[in-house]
Structure 1
């Protein structure tokens, strides 16, 4: 049964208006003050809702139905990226050097649309719905962790999150039960040598060749220590040393990222990066400084709730609407919510070659086909009602 169809169709023009406004005025992580006020302005005259700012930016809205029942949370992130937009759309960013290149403007606008649609039917609903307009997904430690620590998931039975999917055609979604995103960590190794004149390397402890050996040796961790059937990535993304052509520097700094699913592989990577760096440095009478910074934890969808959401999508738009995706190695702080309650995170298709909506997220040319909005909102709303039924059965 397709619930809220007329309400969703009626609100789409407003969703597009909201999204385009947010797109023109993007704000960086933890700086989303005007974005937060704009969202509040759209709901401040509503009765039968409450809203609060649990963090400095972002807002949490609660809508109660006419009788008690399960509580379902729906989340959208609202922050932008430090990028200069080159998408060519008529409503491009007016904030120089800041761009909504990951679709968080659409996430926020669509969640507002979902709130409006449910608000219209509030007298027919049971239970409650918590709408989380969350700050700072793009930078660690992210905005979700603070909200969870402040009890945002207390009393919530299940949660739904969605994200733009540039590789997915409009009208389709993609998700999977189990691991859908990875542990997202970073490391930094500083090789400490002894600098001097470039003409006298014998009087120095040159950290550059040792750093190069470490970079090469790190690639053996995944190849030789992680089972072939387990996904794991180690990428060295920075190698910096020296400032002058004729001076051997004191240090060389290696930075990179590690993506894993299991706790065991995460701990293995942390330990072995240090061991390898220490070994090569010691062989040349040098030392290292080491930092392994754990970022977002892996994200694991509930089997039951993910199956239910995929069924809802196929019921609404036909068999095959919901595609089973492979696990991704990106990071997402939605993982903190899923550590507390079951739920599903999915990607909704925004791809359309005719409209040049083909660029990946975090591209300066990133575009969204706005025809995707009605599909995303409808699936989110109907899945929320289905989740309430599941929560009742599990109670």
Structure 2
């Protein structure tokens, strides 16, 4: 039904006057159909095979051929404007992976049919908006010059990250601007937000193994207690944030796992800890990782043990370009009304759209989803976002990209 008759829900959204008519009825149908299909059959990071196939089929149903794949399960499509004159090139990203959470939303007719997996972060909405953007620009080719690349990106939630692959494959080369988006459960449905500067934090993973010497529990002096070393390390670690970082940085160091010890009467010879390091500053990111390693070495040496430290660089912070935020505010006011643009604090979470904003002037804007019945946070089993926000948000994205291309 991707190119067939209009669904009642799409007709209702149109009749309610909630859109700016940049999508046709059949395009609205396709957007909502993909949203429901993705939600019913969510797929975890790096396993989005059915989702990839659905996206390609939906594009081809509207005459968009030549979609390319990347990162195994990702898809992207380029749309070239046919109008004469200068025009900028814009990338729009929609992520498509789900989370290992069992959905508790029996009220949804398109509830997840996959036990233990759901779209708890709105990526079904994001991917559907990306589809609608591609369909609209394909139809409007005679009316714009420039180029739009729509990326349906896998693996935002888990390694190996799709955003890193986008950067490493040089998929952003030759483009002028990048646009990302995300549902926001603290913004009312129908409103939108953005702010200049850092809007998420970087996320780097680390692992520390503390090595001691095994001994009988009754003779601790004969050994080196790796558990004691680990405890001292945890206490010292937070001083990096409270005493070495600017108070407005909001840096976060989290210990997520601790493994060690075999019995109650043995001095533990080895403990392994893993955690994450987050900051809104690209410069302080390197410093934080280095300091965690230095503290591990120092604490281990002080307790007569050794430390093995390793880290894995994750996503950079997402940095919003101030000019793009100003333009977005203007577009929201034009499309939705002056009262529909809101400001919200930056997030303490992370998003691999940071790889995009590391390479291009970018914006990562928020789509309000909060309303009665859809008011719990992302990454929870009761998270939800109404169909009613999908088409207006898609048409806002289309209008905004048009404004950027023509600017």
Same-fold call, TM cutoff 0.5: yes
Distance 1:351 1:273, change over 3 A: same
- Equivalent in the alignment of 2:302: 283
Tell me how far 1:102 sits from its aligned partner. 1.0
Structure 2 residue 387 is matched with structure 1 residue 370: yes
Select 2:96's aligned residue among 73, 78, 82. Answer: 78
Structure 2 residue 109 is matched with structure 1 residue 90: yes
Tell me how far 1:6 sits from its aligned partner. 5.5
Summarize the alignment of residues 156-305 of structure 1 with structure 2, pairs less than 5 Å apart. 156-305=175-324
Query: Is 2:80–2:146's contact at 8 Å kept on the other side of the alignment?
Result: yes
Summarize the alignment of residues 309-320 of structure 1 with structure 2, pairs less than 5 Å apart. 309-320=328-339
Structure 2 residue 366 is matched with structure 1 residue 347: yes
Instruction: Give deviations 1:123-175, integer Å, cap 9, x for gaps.
Output: 32322221111111112341122223323222222121111111111011121
Tell me how far 1:119 sits from its aligned partner. 2.8
- Equivalent in the alignment of 2:60: 44
Distance 1:352 1:4, change over 3 A: closer
- Equivalent in the alignment of 1:143: 162
Larger mean Cα displacement after TM superposition, 100-109 or 243-252: 243-252
Q: Which runs of 5+ in 1 are unaligned?
A: 391-395
Query: Is 1:187–1:292's contact at 8 Å kept on the other side of the alignment?
Result: yes
Query: Is 1:140–1:296's contact at 8 Å kept on the other side of the alignment?
Result: no
Give the TM-score taking structure 1 as reference length: 0.92
Tell me how far 1:9 sits from its aligned partner. 6.2
- Equivalent in the alignment of 1:54: 70
Tell me how far 1:116 sits from its aligned partner. 2.3
Larger mean Cα displacement after TM superposition, 236-245 or 369-378: 236-245
Tell me how far 1:103 sits from its aligned partner. 1.0
Q: Secondary structure at the match of 2:339?
A: coil
Select 1:30's aligned residue among 46, 51, 61. Answer: 46
Instruction: Give deviations 1:13-45, integer Å, cap 9, x for gaps.
Output: 432221111111111111111110011111214
Query: Is 2:22–2:395's contact at 8 Å kept on the other side of the alignment?
Result: no
Structure 2 residue 388 is matched with structure 1 residue 381: no
RMSD: 2.1
Tell me how far 1:95 sits from its aligned partner. 2.1
Structure 2 residue 33 is matched with structure 1 residue 14: no
Larger mean Cα displacement after TM superposition, 114-123 or 302-311: 114-123
Number of residue pairs matched by the alignment:
387
- Equivalent in the alignment of 2:348: 329
Query: Is 1:179–1:301's contact at 8 Å kept on the other side of the alignment?
Result: yes
Query: Is 1:3–1:382's contact at 8 Å kept on the other side of the alignment?
Result: no
Structure 2 residue 150 is matched with structure 1 residue 131: yes
Structure 2 residue 131 is matched with structure 1 residue 115: no
Q: Secondary structure at the match of 2:203?
A: strand
Distance 1:6 1:388 in 2: 16
Distance 2:127 2:43 in 1: 13
Distance 1:331 1:32 in 2: 21
Distance 1:123 1:180 in 2: 36
Q: Secondary structure at the match of 2:88?
A: strand
Query: Is 2:181–2:367's contact at 8 Å kept on the other side of the alignment?
Result: yes
Give the TM-score taking structure 2 as reference length: 0.89
Q: Which runs of 5+ in 2 are unaligned?
A: 1-17
- Equivalent in the alignment of 1:393: none
Q: Secondary structure at the match of 2:67?
A: strand
Distance 2:26 2:20 in 1: 10
Distance 2:240 2:399 in 1: 45
Q: Secondary structure at the match of 1:379?
A: helix
Q: Secondary structure at the match of 1:126?
A: coil
Instruction: Give deviations 1:180-202, integer Å, cap 9, x for gaps.
Output: 11111122221111123333323
